[in-house]
Chain A
Amino acid sequence: MLEKLLKEYSKRGKFNDYLGEIDVEKKDIEKIIPQNLLRKDFEFIEVSEIEVIRHFIRLSNLNYHLDKGIYPLGSCTMKHNPKVNEEVSSYEGFIFLHPLQKEEDIQGALKLMYELIYFLKEISGMDYVSLQPPAGASGELTSMLVIKKYFMDKKEDRKIVLIPDSAHGTNPASVTMAGFICQTIKSNSEGMVDLDDLKKNLSEQVACLMITNPNTLGIFEKNIKIIIEELHRYGALVYLDGANLNAYCGIHRPGDVGVDIMHFNLHKTFSTPHGGGGPGAGPVGAKSFLVPYLPNPKIEKEGERYYFKYDKESIGKTASFYGNFNVFIKAYTYLRMNGIKGLKKMSQIAVLNANYLRKRLEEIGFSCEYKTSTLHEFVLTLKDFKRKDIRALDIAKRLLDYDCHAPTIYFPLIVPEAFMIEPTETEPKEELDRFISVMKKIKEEIEENPNLVKEAPHNTPVKRLDEGKAGRELVVKWD
């Protein structure tokens, strides 16, 4: 065992000296609380303060996290989350709010949401934004339900949703959950939507296209306008997966090229902890004709007063209350600190960092499956190393030995032995250079001593976990 459970450090009578003697009257619990409500098997954990601190420090040391080093997990935008976000979101005025408080008592919170909506509208070119969905995937599902309701009201029977073969797995999952049928669209040799295949699959049965731009290869769909025109010609809509917004803030607005509805990942683009670090937020922005269908309630303003607005066309709620409010505070803080100029620079540096990394890795012999230029991320193919019986998984594991978080592997599915790298704008050049030298070292190891890589990791608290067994014999409960 790497670290015992806190419970296992517990011992009757352990306490912290500085707490002093109990100075209130002791009462017999058996006399105050009815027998049937008393738990007999329950034991309070008794440990001293230093034990608690050491326990959690030891745990955090076993973990690899963004505060330790580079975290180039493609498609996840693992940027540094400024610590001031945490401070602002712990202000008393926020943490003592209750979601059932009346409108007039929570004007400050409503103002924050209203302004956050305003910023997201400005950034995306959409007409209104619902903050409610608690994650990107939830934003996708919300959008699919909105589209479904829209066509139901128009009495149009459209069952098909088109999805490029490079899409994230949550896309077809959301489509299926909403009761639509997925139709895959092929990518062309440049790694973009194949226009001929798109046209072949277009019909009056199509409800929408779900497109990610830049797509999951990091490639900007240069035909985006043509693609959207084609869909609109058939009366179909265009949904944008906004997971990659970090590539174009302040540079390009999806609303301006005709996107009808999209989601944002506040936890990615606007710096709130995610991936085990906290909950997310996946707001949905829409053009005016879809706005009534967005989740209720909406936040509106009349004079100086903020209020909740309910539309009867709405699909209803997609999260309890108003969504993950704490995430809104952090994203809002980040947006206010950066301003539109700062956001543009953020995206420019994110693209620059990724291109620097791609170029340098290509120079030392790594290559991309698609040669097209990329924005904030890129996908290597490690298929060449198969001749040494080395797979993307092995190289990912070996990176851990060198204190680097591994990139995303085996996604997108159209790249064999995919290795998807997104450094983000917050990684200093020195850390990018360290990553490059580690990749170079691993490449040499593969030639000289492939077993070292095959058997990696060697320096981590746990070695290779049996992921297959975990999938086959899923246990999600602690006994």
Chain B
Amino acid sequence: MSLVLENLYYTKTHEWIRVEEDIGIVGITDFAQKELQDIVYFGIDESIIKKELKAGEKFGYVEAVKTAADLYLPVSGEVLEINKELISNPAIANQDPYGKGWILKIKIKDKEELKSLLNSEDYKKHIGE
């Protein structure tokens, strides 16, 4: 069983977003890290900092031992920060996907967009657990 936290929003592509006022913290889910297995690299270009990205836009990729997957932004917003610790030690996304393993922080542009994301119940159904 994968851990699904109640207070987060989820995408079908297995990203989560935690909302703190108008800041959104984005990462990949416990289900995603289990599927990927050993994560070796996050390919996220620093040039996205301060850029406005749209909901569903690809912002980088994650590489694991056996596979790689693209990363998509749950809602539109300006990228504020990339988790430097995660870039230098990608394995923390395996160990603590909802905590230390966060990927980036954004300034949410339109909170209405959150409504189109999955809540924890929907996400559990989506992954069949």
Interface positions of A (Cβ within 8 A of B):
391, 393, 409-411, 413, 467-468, 471-472
CB atoms of B91 and A468 under 8 A apart: yes
B33-68 residues with Cβ-Cβ distance < 8 A to A are 37-41, 63-67
Q: How far does the Cβ of A470 sit from chain B's closest Cβ, in whole Å? A: 8
CB atoms of A471 and B66 under 8 A apart: no
Q: How far does the Cβ of B6 sit from chain A's closest Cβ, in whole Å? A: 24
- How long is the Cα–Cα vector from A393 to B39 in the complex, in angstroms? 15
Specify the main secondary structure of chain B where it touches its partner.
loop
CB atoms of B67 and A471 under 8 A apart: no
The residue among A393, A409, A472 with the most chain B CB atoms within 10 A of its own CB is A472
The 5 closest A-B pairs by CB, nearest first: A468-B38, A471-B40, A410-B66, A467-B65, A472-B40
Given contacts A413-B67, A471-B40, A472-B89, 14 further A-B contacts (CB under 8 A): A393-B37, A409-B66, A410-B66, A411-B66, A468-B37, A468-B64, A468-B91, A471-B38, A471-B41, A471-B65, A472-B40, A472-B41, A472-B90, A472-B91
Q: How far does the Cβ of A167 sit from chain B's closest Cβ, in whole Å? A: 14
CB atoms of B40 and A410 under 8 A apart: no
* Chain B contacts for A411, CB-based, 8 A: 66
CB atoms of B39 and A468 under 8 A apart: yes
Interface positions of B (Cβ within 8 A of A):
37-41, 63-67, 89-91, 94
* Chain B contacts for A391, CB-based, 8 A: 37
Q: How far does the Cβ of A149 sit from chain B's closest Cβ, in whole Å? A: 30
* Chain B contacts for A468, CB-based, 8 A: 37-40, 64-65, 91, 94
Residue of B nearest to A413 (CB): B67
Residue of B nearest to A474 (CB): B40
Q: Enumerate 7 A-B pairs (CB-CB under 8 Å) in ascending A order.
A: A391-B37, A393-B37, A411-B66, A468-B38, A468-B94, A471-B38, A471-B65
Residue of A nearest to B88 (CB): A472
Residue of A nearest to B35 (CB): A416
Q: How far does the Cβ of A40 sit from chain B's closest Cβ, in whole Å? A: 40
- How long is the Cα–Cα vector from A393 to B67 in the complex, in angstroms? 13
Q: How far does the Cβ of B80 sit from chain A's closest Cβ, in whole Å? A: 26
- How long is the Cα–Cα vector from A471 to B42 in the complex, in angstroms? 12
Q: How far does the Cβ of B40 sit from chain A's closest Cβ, in whole Å? A: 3
* Chain A contacts for B64, CB-based, 8 A: 468
Q: How far does the Cβ of B121 sit from chain A's closest Cβ, in whole Å? A: 21
Q: How far does the Cβ of A214 sit from chain B's closest Cβ, in whole Å? A: 22
The residue among A411, A467, A471 with the most chain B CB atoms within 10 A of its own CB is A471
Q: How far does the Cβ of A406 sit from chain B's closest Cβ, in whole Å? A: 13
- How long is the Cα–Cα vector from A409 to B39 in the complex, in angstroms? 17
* Chain B contacts for A472, CB-based, 8 A: 40-41, 89-91
Task: Given A468-B38, A468-B39, A472-B40, verify A410-B67 contact (CB < 8 Å).
Answer: yes
Q: How far does the Cβ of A419 sit from chain B's closest Cβ, in whole Å? A: 12
- How long is the Cα–Cα vector from A467 to B91 in the complex, in angstroms? 12
- How long is the Cα–Cα vector from A472 to B92 in the complex, in angstroms? 12
* Chain A contacts for B65, CB-based, 8 A: 467-468, 471
Residue of A nearest to B94 (CB): A468
* Chain A contacts for B63, CB-based, 8 A: 471
* Chain A contacts for B67, CB-based, 8 A: 410, 413
Q: How far does the Cβ of B49 sit from chain A's closest Cβ, in whole Å? A: 23
* Chain A contacts for B39, CB-based, 8 A: 468
* Chain B contacts for A409, CB-based, 8 A: 66
